[in-house]
A and B are shown apart, each in its own frame.
Chain A
Amino acid sequence: MNFDFDDDHRELQRAARALLDDRCTLRDVRSVFEGPAPFDADLWDAGAAMGWMGLAVPEADGGLGLGYLELCLVAEELGRALAPIPLSSSVYLGIEALLLAGSPDQRARYLPRLAAGELIATLAVQERRDRVAGFDLQTRFEDGRLHGVKAPVPDGECAGLAVVVANGGSTLALVELDGEGVRREPLASLDPSRSLARLHFDGAAAEVLGADGDGRHLLDRLYDRAAVLFAFEQLGGAQRCLDLAVGYAKERYTFGRPIGSYQAVKHKLADVFVAVELARSNAYYGAWALSTGSDELAIAACLARISATEAFQAAAEEGLHVHGGIGFTWEHDAHLFLRRARLLAVELGAARRWKRTLVHRLAARP
């Protein structure tokens, strides 16, 4: 048994961290956060030059053909850096949807550009505030045309291609967002370093992705894959929050001693450490299942997703708390993590949904 990443994977991770340390400081994140651009285009290009978007894309489709283990570790670094780029939408969801269900022609048309970072993709699922993802969908796909409204769509502002869940979930439709019949409307995001939009489709040209009628099944499989990759982003974010809080707890004195020497603070941070370590272990299991194409992915994805969501949320909330009043200020970085943790917690559906799925999958196992 070898339940860890190997040196060559770690090498790639180190290279990603070096680039992000240089090009994606929290000051850089903040300039996207407070500025008008939906993402950091320079960082995106630098990542593309490193091949990030094509890591798990086969060479025949224009990628590097490495694999998911590499992509997991890059995801961890992006999460650590709070990278303000649409990689999760484009790679974990867009590219994965095409790899899962794309026809040879669709793959040839889109994958090389997506893998090179020239095109950005996203997935559009939810429609209304009072209807959770995937339920009671009104968007229709008929005769090659798409009608309906999707919101909120992560990175819908900057994506050129969307996979749209239509016809009550039975159809996945592929639509180019720069064409006729598409209107984009930015939505204020709780995490402005990651943009959200409402997409209006008014007879936009679209095509089916995968077998028509198979949408729900495909979406489940897509979510399982993406869950592992998102989990690594969440893990990276959680670890960074913990590191920052521990650092502060050693420096900040009250009543003549460092706050980290008080048990109330020490035990809080110990609990966050435990949550992060469990999330790491569950994420590794997910990485193994994803990279080997194991049937275990159905369970492993749930474990990784639930654990990582809880760890990032706890680390962001308690990390901010440990900073006291300064942690509540706009100038301090704690809220950047809190916002990202919240966005990622709901992007593939809330933990509650994953927990139900997990138990029903376990119950269905022999």
Chain B
Amino acid sequence: MDLDDTPEEATFRAEARAWLEGEVEPLAPGEAPAAISEFEDPDEIERSRAWQARKAEAGWACFTWPVEYGGRGGTSTQRSIFAQEEARFRIPPDVFTAGIGMAGPTLLAHGSDEQKRRWLPGMARGEQIWCQLFSEPGAGSDLAALRTAAIRDGDEWVVDGQKLWSSAANLADWGLLLVRTDPDVGKHAGLTYLLVDMRSPGIDARPIRQITGGANFNEVFLTGVRVPDANRLGEVGGGWSVALTTLMNERSSLGAGGTGGALGVRALIALAAATHDERGPLLGDDAVCEAIADCYVRSKGVVYTSWRTQTAMSRGVPPGPEVSIAKLVAGRMRQDMMALALDLQDLFGAVVASDPAADHLPWDHGYLFAPAARIGGGTDEVLRNIIGERALGLPPEPRVDKGLAFREIPTGR
């Protein structure tokens, strides 16, 4: 057990830091990293693109991807070292999670050489914003219940249907699209996975206002959208297993970023120390301390769990079900932490920060945003099912839709 870098890792870290120092400003002491962005400011998107392009140009993007596809052919350890170093700097929020975090690994696992060459290098350079067009009004947790249909017409698919809650679809250049190509077989067997150009005629992405007031997830209407068969990932009818790759990567990228929690706890302690009641600073209150400790223990537990995964991967062991733990724990932890921060301020906790920059963290926005982490990318309940069934090997629930053709499955509507 050794938390120090190996000599090679230390060299790599020093190089990464030196490069970052020449490129961006470090965070000031106590300064929080960029908050979660709803990308309503076009300048912010441009900054995100420019930063990704700069990294790719200098060879610091997409570490684990092969060099020929715009990566570095490096290790996941290098990737996490770079991410740790990058987190100490004032970098723009990342608009590429669906692309680099989800589309990239899915293409690497299921794409043909031609498809990889076509999309991956540009993705690494930040040339494309991607979105995930999976969920529908009738298919969220039960994703395989989706109804958006694609019918083959020569070398193309013609797609009709509606997607929902698609983050950044209004900004995206490309979409990961899961469609039903055969309603006469079981629900998982009739799905196909397509990559769709978001500028295609027949696509209409309409932003939906969220509880935070922002509007970066969308309803997307697809009417007679033509997608070349060359844009298909995997087999016709084999879309489910491709989608699982995307979902796995989505969960691990959403669950990572555990340092955010620990940084938040530091800010929470500062808030409790600076806020007084008749008995003194709230940091002297046992219940407050216990609640803060509960957040910190969970956030560190998530970080150290990722270190265990990292170590296992460096020994050639693939990541296991612990990947679902991070998102489950971190989502709940953030919600508790934000609620506690607002509680500490009594009624002032109901006042929206007029100047978020002056506050340590925009707690009110954080509180309103927190539920998203427990819903998007699989709800708490879905993750518990996954842990119960895949990590603990417990039997699945009986399925009323088993053995039925998709058409025959009851819908409740």
Within 8 A of A (CB), among B259-313: 265-266, 269, 273, 283, 286, 289-290, 292-294, 296-298, 300-305, 307-308, 310-312
Question: Which of A102-110, A193-201, A262-270 touches B?
Answer: A262-270
B9 touches A277 (CB 8 A): no
Map CB proximity to A onto B374-404 as digits: 1 under 8 Å, 0 otherwise.
0000000101110111011111111000000
- Whether the pair B2, A307 counts as a contact (CB closer than 8 A) is no
Q: Is B325 an interface residue (CB 8 A)?
A: yes
**With A246-B394, A269-B392, A363-B273 in contact, do A352 and B304 touch (Cβ < 8 Å)?**
no
Chain B residues with Cβ under 8 A from A261's Cβ?
394-398
Q: Which residues of A contact B312 (CB under 8 A)?
A: 4
Residue B38 lies at the interface, judged by CB distance under 8 Å to chain A: no
A5 at the interface (CB under 8 A from B): yes
**A1 to B381 CA separation, bound complex (whole angstroms):** 33
B190-234 at interface with A (beta carbon < 8 Å): none
Q: Are A266 and B322 in contact (CB under 8 A)?
A: no
The answer to whether residues A1 and B289 also contact, given A261-B398, A271-B384 and a CB cut-off of 8 A, is no
Interface centre among A2, A303, A306, A352 (most CB of B within 10 A): A2
Q: Is A273 touching B387 in the complex (CB atoms < 8 A)?
A: yes
The verdict on B142 contacting chain A, using a C-beta distance below 8 Å, is no
> Which of B296, B302, B315, B392 has the largest number of chain A CB atoms within 10 A?
B392
Q: Which residues of B contact A249 (CB under 8 A)?
A: 394
Instruction: Tell yes or no: A287 within 8 A of B by CB.
Output: yes
CB atoms of A270 and B384 under 8 A apart: yes
* Contact with B329, one of A258, A262, A278 (Cβ below 8 angstroms): A278
Known contacts A1-B9, A266-B384, A355-B289: does B394 contact A250 (CB below 8 Å)? yes
Give every chain A residue within 8 A of B302 (Cβ-Cβ): 278, 281
**In the bound complex, do residue A284 and residue B308 qualify as a contact, i.e. CB atoms below 8 Å apart?**
yes
| Chain A residue nearest to B302 in the complex (CB) | A278
Please report the C-alpha to C-alpha distance between residue A306 and residue B389 in the assembled complex, in whole angstroms: 28
Chain B residues whose CB sits within 8 angstroms of the CB of A285 once the complex forms: 300, 304
Quick check: A263 and B385 within 8 Å, CB to CB? yes
Hey, which chain B residues are within 8 Å of A269, CB to CB? 388, 392, 394
Q: Is the beta-carbon distance between B265 and A250 smaller than 8 angstroms?
A: no
A284 touches B304 (CB 8 A): yes
A274: nearest residue on chain B (CB-CB)?
A: B325
**B323 to A: closest C-beta gap in Å:** 11
Closest beta carbon of chain A to B139's beta carbon, Å: 20
Q: Which residues of B contact A363 (CB under 8 A)?
A: 269, 273, 283
In this assembly, does A362 line the interface, its C-beta being within 8 Å of a C-beta of chain B?
yes
B46 sits at the interface (CB 8 A): no
Q: Are A355 and B398 in contact (CB under 8 A)?
A: no
Q: Are A3 and B3 in contact (CB under 8 A)?
A: yes
> Does A260 sit at the interface, judged by CB under 8 A?
yes
Judging by beta carbons under 8 Å apart, are B1 and A250 in contact?
no
Is the pair A303, B300 in contact by a Cβ cutoff of 8 Å?
yes
- In contact, B311 and A2 (Cβ under 8 angstroms): yes
Report if B77 contacts A (CB, 8 A).
yes
- CB-defined interface of A268-310 with B at 8 Å, one 1/0 digit per residue? 0111011001111110110110010000000000110011000
Residues of B with C-beta under 8 A to A41: none
- Is residue B113 within 8 Å, beta carbon to beta carbon, of the partner chain? no
Count chain B CB atoms within 10 A of each CB in A270, A291, A359 and give the residue with the most: A270
Determine if A360 is an interface residue (Cβ-Cβ < 8 Å): yes
Q: How far, in whole Å, are A352 and B265 apart by their CA atoms in the complex?
A: 18
Of A257, A269, A281, the most chain B CB neighbours within 10 A belong to A281
Q: What is the interface residue range for chain A against chain B?
A: 35 or more
Shortest C-beta distance, B253 to chain A (Å), equals 19
Q: Are B392 and A277 in contact (CB under 8 A)?
A: no
Report A39-65 residues with CB < 8 Å from chain B CB.
Answer: none
B103 CB within 8 Å of chain A: no
Interface residues of A in 216-273 (CB under 8 A from B): 246, 249-250, 257-258, 260-263, 265-267, 269-271, 273
With A3-B1, A274-B328 already in contact, the answer to whether A359 and B384 are too (CB < 8 A) is no
Inter-chain contacts of A332 with B (CB < 8 A): none
A2 to chain B, nearest CB (A): 5
B2 touches A2 (CB 8 A): yes
Task: List A contacts of B311 (CB < 8 A).
Answer: 1-4
Interface flags, A327-366, vs B, CB<8A=1, else 0: 0000000000000000000000000101110111011000
Say whether A263 contacts B1, CB under 8 Å.
Answer: no
In the bound complex, what is the Cα–Cα distance between A362 and B292 (angstroms)?
Answer: 10
Whole-angstrom CA separation of A220 from B182 in the bound complex:
67
Q: Tell me the nearest residue of chain A to B2, going by C-beta.
A: A2
CA gap between A144 and B273 in the complex, in Å = 44
On whether the beta carbons of B388 and A359 are closer than 8 Å, the reply is no
Q: Does B57 contact A (CB under 8 A)?
A: no
Alpha-carbon distance A356/B286, docked complex (angstroms)? 7
Contacts of A270 in B (CB 8 A): 383-385, 387-388, 391-392
Q: Which residues of B lie under 8 Å from residue A266 when comparing CB positions?
A: 384-385, 388-389, 392, 394
21 interchain pairs, CB-CB under 8 A = A1-B311, A1-B314, A2-B3, A2-B311, A3-B3, A250-B395, A260-B388, A260-B392, A261-B397, A263-B384, A267-B384, A273-B387, A274-B329, A277-B305, A278-B298, A281-B300, A356-B290, A356-B293, A358-B289, A359-B283, A363-B269
Q: A3-B3, A356-B289 are in contact. List 14 more A-B contacts (CB 8 A).
A: A1-B310, A2-B3, A261-B394, A266-B384, A277-B325, A278-B298, A281-B301, A281-B303, A281-B305, A288-B2, A291-B1, A355-B289, A359-B296, A360-B283
State the 5 A-B residue pairs at the shortest beta-carbon distance, nearest first. Answer: A278-B301, A355-B293, A281-B304, A266-B388, A260-B394
Residues of B within 8 A of A (CB): 1-6, 9, 77, 265-266, 269, 273, 283, 286, 289-290, 292-294, 296-298, 300-305, 307-308, 310-312, 314-315, 322, 325, 328-329, 381, 383-385, 387-389, 391-398
